[in-house]
Amino acid sequence: MSKFDEIRPFYDHEVNEALRGIARDPMMTALMGFTFPDVDKQVWREQFKNIHSISDFQHQFIAHTIRQILAKSSEGLTTSGFEKLAPNTPYLFVSNHRDIVLDTSLLNLVLLEKEFIMTSSAIGDNLVQKTFLHVLAKLNRNFLVQRGLSIREQLKSSQTMSEYIEQLLHVEKRSVWIAQREGRTKDGNDATQQGVLKMLAMAAGDLSLTDYFKTLKIVPISISYEYDPTDSLKMPQLLARHRDEEYIKGKDEDFMTMLSGVLGQKKRIHIHAGTVLDTELDDIAHLENKNKQLQAIAQMIDDSIIQNYKLWPTKFIAYDLLHNTDTYASEYTDQEKQLFIRRLEMRIDLSDAVSQEFFLAMYANPLINKMKSGQKSPE
């Protein structure tokens, strides 16, 4: 019994039995029906019998699912920055977080197609309450972040997760994906939570914080969707926060958000891999306490994510509508603007000025943050 058993994905020798256990689940039938619309279910059920590793399952099935999602609900995925990475090196990808399923799935499709090491990815256990989703997550090499714990349990859970990430990177030579913050960014402001970095630092042992973080080979990831398919679903939470009210999620809200993210229209998507945090960590080694060092590392990650975030026309349109200006009119066409306004009209109540402002800010904030971070001429 390993101390990681509660959070780890399946070992390869467990995959076949786990997969066959959900082969007849209606959700698997729906998933495979979406992935292989012209294939009889008996065919893929038979093929499942020959799957004996996570790699088999990802290459032969899930990669096709993600390609199908791109074909049906996007205008394509582009990438940049990966040419600076080495194919056989495990990295810790610290990413901005927009979509529950796709942020990590799309990165892994890129890694698979470029023949890089694919990731083991962190996912909140609150998102996989359904047995099928829990098994599917473990079949996709997800490890669980335990939510809703007491302070004492949280500390123990963070220590375990920190040690597990260290083992993945240094012993198993497996890349890791983790979001820069707990939960998705709802308002378009991408900011690294120091708590995430504190958790990572727990496994440093005798190494100094900066030396340990060098060994993690942190790569900031910027993912940018032209349209956020869950934009309107993020509004109730934003409005509750604005009104200083407690927001209580509906019973199946996370699951419906997952489905909307997967099936909703995203238009173009771009993923940028930043440069590995390395020598710049030497520049902060002199800072007198760990908190200041962690703040500085969070700022490095934020700067990379914000500056390398692909600004689609929707971001410029939202900025101009929000500020009642045409400052960025050269960055989009009239047709793109009309389509975005139509989306706005369909997804929120325009008579509610606060809703309108929050919706537009969600799209405009990456541009505003890029300007603030010194990139005066956004791409």
CA distances from 88 to 116, 174, 260, 336 (A): 6, 10, 34, 41
Bridge partners, 120 (sequence order)? 176
* Residue-wise pLDDT tens digits, 79-121: 999 999 999 999 999 999 988 889 999 999 999 999 999 999 9
327 vs 375, residue with greater confidence: 327
- C-alpha span between 185 and 179 (Å, rounded): 10
Question: What percent of the chain is modeled with pLDDT above 90?
Answer: 80
* Residue-wise pLDDT tens digits, 282-302: 999 999 899 999 999 999 999
pLDDT of 374 reads 74
Bridge partners, 225 (sequence order)? 269
Reported as a pLDDT band with limits 50, 70 and 90, residue 358 is: very high
pLDDT of 198 reads 97
- Strand intervals (E) in the chain: 77-80, 92-95, 119-124, 142-145, 175-179, 218-225, 269-273
Reported as a pLDDT band with limits 50, 70 and 90, residue 247 is: low
Reported as a pLDDT band with limits 50, 70 and 90, residue 253 is: low
pLDDT of 260 reads 75
Give yes or no for residue 310 having a pLDDT over 60.
yes
- Return the minimum-mean-pLDDT range out of 33-42, 247-256, 293-302: 247-256
* Residue-wise pLDDT tens digits, 194-240: 999 999 999 999 999 999 999 999 999 999 999 998 888 887 677 76
pLDDT of 376 reads 40
pLDDT of 126 reads 87
Residue 171 neighbours by CB distance under 10 Å? 8
Mapped onto helix, strand or coil, the DSSP state of residue 317 is: helix
Mean pLDDT of the chain: 92
Give yes or no for residue 251 having a pLDDT over 80.
no
User: Torsion-angle region of residue 52: left (phi > 0), alpha (psi -120 to 50) or beta?
Assistant: alpha
